Every structure is written in structure tokens, then in C-alpha cells.
Amino acid sequence: MAVFTAAEALDMALKIERNGETFYEAAARKVKDEEIRAVLEDLALQERRHYKAFQKLADRVGAPPTLSAPEWEEYDEYVQTALENALFAGPDKALAAANQVQTAEEALRMALGFEKDTLIFFYDLREMMPETEQNVVTEIIREEKAHVRRLARLLSKRT
């Protein structure tokens, strides 16, 4: 059985943020719509900020909370499946997705999917963190929710 620690979860969070940044930067270069380009560039900037916040957390994280063996096993299986099927499971996949973008709407749909997947992961990540550190992840979750609302509003204006 693999044990999934908060440190490992933070490492995955760092990768998610970096991959999101890669996608947003590449998609911004492809989108001709100035408003959408500005939003994508701003989201890339926010992903960099989140990366730095998770980096600080990773430096401070303590021992993981105690979970039963079945809970660890279930969680590890979930995370591995989620990461394998993630929209941007790696920088190459993020760039490949961005290179497929033909329209602003496609970029918004991909970004919205990424943000939703990220939210689910971060909710679970927060549970893996010591209580004293959960507030940092909670704040990032709030920001990710704002990303979802922003992207959904933009998409609804275009469809």
C-alpha cells in the first residue's frame, strides 16, 4: 500500500500550478480576443502566486494526519487516478492542450475544466494538511473558486 503524505500532495499541487501556468501562458499567445488574452495572462500570474504559496507550505509541513490504512489506500488510488486523467497532467500535456485552442471559447472551456479539477484536488489536499496549515489551502480554494466564476461568466457571455 502506498502512503500519500501532505508533502507528496503539496508536490502534486506545485505541479498542478506550474502546468496551469504553462497552459494559460500558451493559450494567451494563441487567443486573438484581447479581453480573453488578458484574463488568461492574469490567471497565469495567479498560478505563479499559488505556486509560491504551496512552496512555502511544503517547507513548513509537518507530519500528516493519522488515517486508517483503508483511508490511505482509497485516497492514494483516487489521487493517482485523478492525476493520470487530469486535464493538464504535465507541462507537455498543458502545451499540447493550448496548441489545440482554436477559439477563445475553447480556451475558456479548457481553463474552466482545469480549474474545476484543481478545486476538487485542493479540497482533498486541505484535508491532508495539519489544521494549522489548512487556512493557506482554504485561501487558495477561494481564489480558485473565483477563477471558476470568472471563467464561467466569460463563457456564458460568449455562448
The model's pLDDT over 117-133, given as tens digits with 9 standing for 90+, comes to 888 888 887 887 778 77
End-to-end CA distance of the chain: 46
Model pLDDT for residues 84-121, shown as the tens digit of each residue: 655 556 667 777 777 888 898 999 998 998 889 888 88
Q: Where are the domains of the chain?
A: 6-158
pTM of full prediction above 0.85: no
Residue 89's contacts (CB-CB under 8 Å, 6 or more residues apart) are: 19, 83
The fold of the 6-158 domain, in CATH, is: Ferritin (1.20.1260)
pLDDT tops 60 at residue 3: no
**Contact by Cβ (8 Å): 110, 118:** no
Distance CA 46, CA 54 (A): 12
- Tell me the helices (H) and strands (E) count for the chain, helix number first: 6, 0
